[in-house]
Amino acid sequence: MEDAKIVQLYFDRDEAALNETQSKYGKYLLKIANNILYNNEDSEECVNDTYLSAWNAMPPHRPDVLSLFLGKLTRGHAIDVYRKNHAGKRIPSEFTTSIDELEECIPGASDVEDNLEAKRLGEVISGFLREQSDEARNLFVGRYFYADSLKDVAAYYGMSEAKAKMILFRTRQKLKDFLDTEGFTV
């Protein structure tokens, strides 16, 4: 079923919307959640929360791209579950590895950093990514948004993992410099 029709089912408050969403995007969303949580049970629960959130959000929200809208919801839920269930513990998921890598992007200590809204930071990073090559941008989003493994992101372009790793490293360094120049550091 086309996305527009699925969205319309939500607007019509037709519960078939949930079945259609699960049928079309269930695996996609489960993959996103599992990359972060590394646990099937938690991931399925997370995806179910996504359906509920989508049901509550539509209407009034009418997403331009349903898959991205659902993906973002799933990612948000998965990160919440990750924090709640694994606070202080370290689990061997791609998400754990990927956010460890993101540590390199943290600018120097700043008093204003806590005031920075995640949304604003997201916009800034979007601006930064637009300046990067297609390759660097997609590897970055694949690795740090979708928490895909290094092997998976390398497969986007059929490159070696070593090359993908090097591109990601350079992009992180650039992002750090970019955030510095944007004033997110002392």
The reply on whether position 184 binds another protein by CB under 8 A is: yes
Q: Which is nearer to another protein, 26 or 76 (CB)?
A: 76
Residue 130 sits in the site that holds another protein (CB under 8 A): yes
Query: Could you say which of 3, 29, 142, 178 contacts another protein (CB under 8 A)?
Result: 142
Q: What is the rounded CA–CA span in Å between residue 67 and residue 136?
A: 22
Give how far Cα 179 sits from Cα of 1, 61, 114, 173, Å: 42, 31, 14, 10
**Residue 159 touching another protein (CB under 8 A):** yes
Number of residues that bind another protein (CB under 8 A): 52
Q: Print burial letters for 145-175: b (CB count within 10 Å at least 16), e (below 16).
A: ebbbbbebbbeeeebeeeebbebbeebbebb
**C-beta separation of 143 from 168 below 8 A:** yes
User: Please, which residue, 55 or 145, has the CB nearer to another protein?
Assistant: 145
Which of 18/159 has CB closer to another protein?
159
DSSP 8-state class, residue 86: S
Q: State the nearest-atom distance from the C-beta of 15 to another protein, in Å.
A: 27
Q: Is 150 in the site for another protein (CB under 8 A)?
A: no
Query: Rounded to whole angstroms, how far apart are CA atoms 32 and 25?
Result: 11
Among 54, 146, 168, 171, binds another protein (CB under 8 A): 146
Question: According to the binding rule CB under 8 A, does residue 55 interact with another protein?
Answer: no
- The SS3 assignment for 14 reads coil
Q: Footprint of another protein on residues 69-98 (CB under 8 A)?
A: 71-72, 75-76, 79, 83, 95, 98
Contact 66, 60 (CB under 8 A): no
44 binds another protein (CB under 8 A): no
How far, in Å, CA of 15 to CA of 52, rounded? 11
User: Contact positions toward another protein, by CB under 8 A?
Assistant: 64-65, 67-68, 71-72, 75-76, 79, 83, 95, 98-100, 102-103, 105-107, 110, 113-114, 116, 118-119, 121-123, 125-126, 129-130, 134, 137-138, 141-142, 144-146, 148, 152, 154-160, 162-163, 184
